[in-house]
């Protein structure tokens, strides 16, 4: 019994020693993992510098291009089209000869009218001579009665009326003869020829022979909400407002013009008003019925504090941004956004020039997070120098996520309790 008990004690002591040895060996291996867990993780983010620059203020609308003048050229006389002097797609000047209708029938009518006029003029001269003769006989010898004199005077007046009618017929025949030579009523570009030479054309034809559209200058009709019309009218009193026309995808600037006028009524069905702008269109960038995006420049905010709109986060307490401090950690700061324009936000208060804000990767940040900022390109300056390659876009919706930012729902939830947003779960 004593011997068996001794063996059990020895076995228990050896087991306890082995367990202590294993615990002592495994404890140093766990220490590095715990140390790494306590080390702050550096998160890569995209950042931008707060700048002070001129910020253009635009109103945007949808519009369509309209020819300044559109003329459907028709024949004003009946006849055979014998000659076409233009080429399809050609630019013509006002008064330039376009087509010729067979003038021979109208030349004959003109000559007939002239002949009738000459005949009636001769009869008028004879009647006038007889009237003077009858009148002299009545006054000198009484050999002619007063009735005969009055009758001859009436004959003279009848021939005078006939001569005037003949003169009108000559003018009408001359006018019809001139209509045989069709000239351009305005300067512009000719479209597709609609009638070929050899066809008989009539003044009553429903379809024109050709259509001329004036492209230089050219007009753009676009709409704006009725609430913005008063602001536009106020700015028009100072000077002509600049209007930029952009392509259908709103990426390429096509032309720059001036606002001409605002329509005199509002469309009740849409709550919008129509505006008309005029463009020189020297390079023929705009074509009639083309769809365009219109950017109307109201004014330029001088020396505004500007950041990319992607930096602005929104929450129940308002707008805020992540500011990168000199030690590469971030802090949450509330800001007051004055306006948003074309991917840029004007900050009224909360930021100073040269500070750095995070523009992408905010979903992984909280107050005090350590970051590795990658600086993005500085915002484009106002004035339109680079608008062809980097045009100012339409004002972004306040709740729309910035393209490519990958922000999740927490951006709309704002800072959590304690002033910092929750740690995001999406990986970058």
Q: What are the pLDDT tens digits along the chain (428 aa)? A: 445 555 665 666 566 555 555 455 444 444 455 445 556 688 999 999 999 999 999 999 999 999 999 999 999 999 999 999 999 999 999 999 999 999 999 999 999 999 999 999 999 999 999 999 888 888 888 788 888 889 999 999 999 999 999 999 999 999 999 999 999 999 999 999 999 999 999 999 999 999 999 999 999 999 999 999 999 999 998 889 999 999 999 999 999 999 999 999 999 999 999 999 999 999 999 999 999 999 999 988 899 999 999 999 998 889 999 999 999 999 999 999 988 887 899 999 989 898 999 999 888 888 888 999 988 865 544 434 333 333 333 333 333 333 333 343 344 344 443 344 433 333 33
Domain identity same for 316 and 399: yes
DSSP 199: -
Which of 300, 335, 370 finishes a domain?
A: 300
Domain identity same for 318 and 399: yes
Domain identity same for 325 and 344: yes
For residue 392, the cross-strand partners are none
Domain at 196, CATH number: 2.40.50.100
Domain at 383, CATH number: 2.40.420.20
Q: Is residue 388 part of a domain?
A: yes
Closest among 290, 288, 294 to 276, alpha carbons compared = 294
Q: Is residue 171 part of a domain?
A: yes
Sorted by sequence, the CB contacts under 8 Å of residue 91 that are 6+ apart come out as: 187, 188, 189, 190
Closest among 419, 402, 415 to 312, alpha carbons compared = 402
Domain at 285, CATH number: 2.40.30.170
Rounded distance, CA 362 to CA 313, Å?
Answer: 9
Instruction: Give helix 104-140 / helix 146-179 axis angle, nearest 10°.
Output: 160
Domain identity same for 285 and 328: no
Which of 276, 300, 324 finishes a domain?
A: 300
How far from 383 is each of 378, 389, 391, 417, CA to CA, in Å? Answer: 15, 14, 11, 43
Contact 314, 412 (CB under 8 A): yes
Q: Give me the domain span that covers residue 94.
A: 73-102+180-211
Structure tokens at 346: 């004007």
Domain identity same for 385 and 407: yes
DSSP 169: H
Domain identity same for 133 and 237: no
Contact 324, 357 (CB under 8 A): yes
How far from 75 is each of 200, 202, 209, 420, CA to CA, in Å? Answer: 10, 6, 7, 79
The CA-based angle 392-398-403, given to 5 degrees, is: 60
Domain identity same for 277 and 312: no
Q: What is the dihedral of CA 124, 130, 132, 138, to 10 degrees?
A: -150
Q: Is residue 333 part of a domain?
A: yes
Tally Cβ neighbours within 10 Å of residue 189: 19
Q: Is residue 34 part of a domain?
A: no
Q: Is residue 16 part of a domain?
A: no
Q: Is residue 200 part of a domain?
A: yes
Q: Is residue 6 part of a domain?
A: no
Sorted by sequence, the CB contacts under 8 Å of residue 30 that are 6+ apart come out as: none
Domain identity same for 241 and 191: no
Q: Is residue 14 part of a domain?
A: no
Handedness of CA 381, 385, 391, 395 (dihedral sign): positive
Domain identity same for 137 and 190: no
How many distinct helices (H) and strands (E) make up the chain?
5, 22
Rounded distance, CA 357 to CA 21, Å?
Answer: 53
**Predicted TM-score (pTM) of this structure:** 0.64
Number of domains in the chain: 4
Q: Look up tokens 């915002």; give the residue.
A: 379
Closest among 424, 314, 413 to 43, alpha carbons compared = 424
Domain identity same for 381 and 291: no
Rounded distance, CA 257 to CA 244, Å?
Answer: 6
Domain identity same for 218 and 290: yes
Q: Is 24 helix (H, G, I), strand (E, B) or coil?
A: helix
Which of 253, 280, 300 finishes a domain?
A: 300
Structure tokens at 274: 């129509």
Domain at 168, CATH number: 1.10.287
Domain identity same for 284 and 409: no
Q: Is 275 helix (H, G, I), strand (E, B) or coil?
A: strand
At 28, which helix (H) or strand (E)? helix 2-38
């Amino acid at each position: 019994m004593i011997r068996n008990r001794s063996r059990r004690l020895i076995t228990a002591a050896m087991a306890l020693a082995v367990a202590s040895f294993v615990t002592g060996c495994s404890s140093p291996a766990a220490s590095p993992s715990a140390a790494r867990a306590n080390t702050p993780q550096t998160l890569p983010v995209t950042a931008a510098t707060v700048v002070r620059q001129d910020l253009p203020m635009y109103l945007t609308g949808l519009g369509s291009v309209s020819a300044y003048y559109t003329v459907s050229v028709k024949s004003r006389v009946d006849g055979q089209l014998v000659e076409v002097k233009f080429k399809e797609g050609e630019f013509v000047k006002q008064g330039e000869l376009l087509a010729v209708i067979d003038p021979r029938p109208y030349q004959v009518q003109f000559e007939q009218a002239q002949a009738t006029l000459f005949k009636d003029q001769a009869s008028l001269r004879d009647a006038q001579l007889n009237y003077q003769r009858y009148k002299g006989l009545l006054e000198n010898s009484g050999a002619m009665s007063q009735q005969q004199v009055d009758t001859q005077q009436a004959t003279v007046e009848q021939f005078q009326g006939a001569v005037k009618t003949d003169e009108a017929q000559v003018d009408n025949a001359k006018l019809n003869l001139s209509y045989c030579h069709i000239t351009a009523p305005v300067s512009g570009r000719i479209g597709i020829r609609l009638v070929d030479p050899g066809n008989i054309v009539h003044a009553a034809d429903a379809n024109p022979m050709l259509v001329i559209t004036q492209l230089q200058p050219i007009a753009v009709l676009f709409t704006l909400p009725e609430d913005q019309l008063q602001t536009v009218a106020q700015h028009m009193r100072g000077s002509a407002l600049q209007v930029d026309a952009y392509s259908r995808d709103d990426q390429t600037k096509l032309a720059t013009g001036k606002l001409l006028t605002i329509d005199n009524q509002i469309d009740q069905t849409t709550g919008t008003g129509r505006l008309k702008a005029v463009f020189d269109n020297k390079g023929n960038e705009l074509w009639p019925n083309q769809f365009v995006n219109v950017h109307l420049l109201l004014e330029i905010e001088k020396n505004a504090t500007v950041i990319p709109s992607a930096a602005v986060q929104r929450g129940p307490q308002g707008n805020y941004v992540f500011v990168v401090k000199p030690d590469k950690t971030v802090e949450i700061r509330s800001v007051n956004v004055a306006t948003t324009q074309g991917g840029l936000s004007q900050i009224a208060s909360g930021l100073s020039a040269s500070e750095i804000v995070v523009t992408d990767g905010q979903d992984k940040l909280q107050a005090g997070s350590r970051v590795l900022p990658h600086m993005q390109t500085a915002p484009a300056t106002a004035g339109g120098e680079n608008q062809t390659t980097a045009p100012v876009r339409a004002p972004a919706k306040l709740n729309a996520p910035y393209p490519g930012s990958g922000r999740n729902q927490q951006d709309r939830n704002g800072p959590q309790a304690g002033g910092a947003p929750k740690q995001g779960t999406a990986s970058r």
